[in-house]
Amino acid sequence: MFSPKVSEKIAFAFLTVAILIVVGFVLTILSYIVTNGIGAISIDFLIQGPKNRMTEGGIFPAIVGTVFLIIGSMAVALPFGILAAIYLNEYAEEGRIVWIIQMAISNLAGTPSVVFGLFGLAMFVKYMGFGASILAASLTLALVVLPVIIRASEEAMATVPSGLREASLALGVTRWQTVRKIVLPIALPGMVTGAILSVGRVAGETAPILLTGAAYFLPRLPDSVSDQFMALPYHLFVLATSGTNIATTRPIQYGTALVLLMIVLGVNFVAVMIRRHYKNKMRW
């Protein structure tokens, strides 16, 4: 066998190759989408609807649909997620109930998005009678991102030093006031980061909206929450797999993929920047 020194060299070489392969994946995927998609993107592509049975024109209705879904799902998931995180981090004491809640949250986080889609279809579309609509899809997506928001908010609040809470409580301030005036303001940047990351998730999810209201093509924009909608990820899927002319619409497909990627990664980038900024600013 090799001497320890030599085997260390060999092992480290393998590890280096592994990380290079991973980085290679990232660069390959990004460069393909960017180089092929950039030519398709223009102002018209962004502000016009699809034309000529989706073989020409832009993706405006899909962008609008995705924005509606983001607003709708965040309006539901943010307040519930933050309140749940406040309870779990600030009020709950170790015990069976809290354990069950924590287990439920991790299981929700691990549930496949297509299962959420089935649930949304059975519960929101059919049982509650919302039909295939923005409303049903937003609620379904809210469930998908709820665990993400809870976890991120919990983490943000956990970084607040307990000395600050204790000082506040020792002054006779109630727990809720302490949460509102001490914990939340400090944890806010972290919570915003989590919220932004979940926006990226909502923008990219396809399977849940496929089952709850995304439309192949709509001639006009939706005008109420009970309308069906087009959305970027579903639009890309449709164009790439079942469009009228899959081969000739390749540039539109790359363009759509790039816009989607820019939204999701752009949003993630902003979140990382916020986190960095406040990490440097606040040191305890």
Pairwise CA distance, residues 248 & 91, whole Å: 58
Pairwise CA distance, residues 145 & 257, whole Å: 22
Q: Could you give the string, one character per residue 142-171, with x where binding to other proteins holds by CB under 8 A and - elsewhere? A: -x--xx--x---------------------
Give 282's contacts (C-beta < 8 A, 6+ positions apart).
186
Nearer to other proteins, 16 or 42 (CB): 16
Pairwise CA distance, residues 150 & 107, whole Å: 13
Q: Which stretch binds other proteins (CB under 8 A): 47-55, 56-64, 118-126, 219-227?
A: 118-126
Angle at 209 between CA 102 and CA 28, to 5 degrees: 85
Interface with other proteins in residues 38-67 (CB under 8 A)? none
Closest approach, Cβ 220 to other proteins, in A, equals: 22
Closest approach, Cβ 28 to other proteins, in A, equals: 8
Closest approach, Cβ 84 to other proteins, in A, equals: 4
Q: Which of 34, 64, 67, 92 binds other proteins (CB under 8 A)?
A: 92
Q: 270 pairs with which residues across the strands?
A: none
Nearer to other proteins, 5 or 223 (CB): 5
Pairwise CA distance, residues 21 & 207, whole Å: 29
φ, ψ of residue 209 to 5 degrees: the values are -80, -25
Binding of residue 248 to other proteins (CB under 8 A): no
Q: Which of 7, 35, 42, 248 binds other proteins (CB under 8 A)?
A: 7
Q: Which of 123, 158, 186, 274 binds other proteins (CB under 8 A)?
A: 123
Binding of residue 178 to other proteins (CB under 8 A): no
Q: Which stretch binds other proteins (CB under 8 A): 25-33, 42-50, 51-59, 181-189?
A: 25-33
Q: Which of 185, 272, 279, 282 binds other proteins (CB under 8 A)?
A: 272
Give 161's contacts (C-beta < 8 A, 6+ positions apart).
284
Nearer to other proteins, 123 or 158 (CB): 123
Q: Where are the alpha helices (DSSP H) in the chain?
A: 4-37, 43-47, 60-86, 96-110, 113-120, 134-158, 162-170, 175-178, 184-204, 207-212, 232-242, 250-281
DSSP state of 50: E
Q: Which of 54, 70, 160, 207 binds other proteins (CB under 8 A)?
A: 207
Closest approach, Cβ 199 to other proteins, in A, equals: 11
Q: Which two tokens stand for residue 225?
A: 């929450």
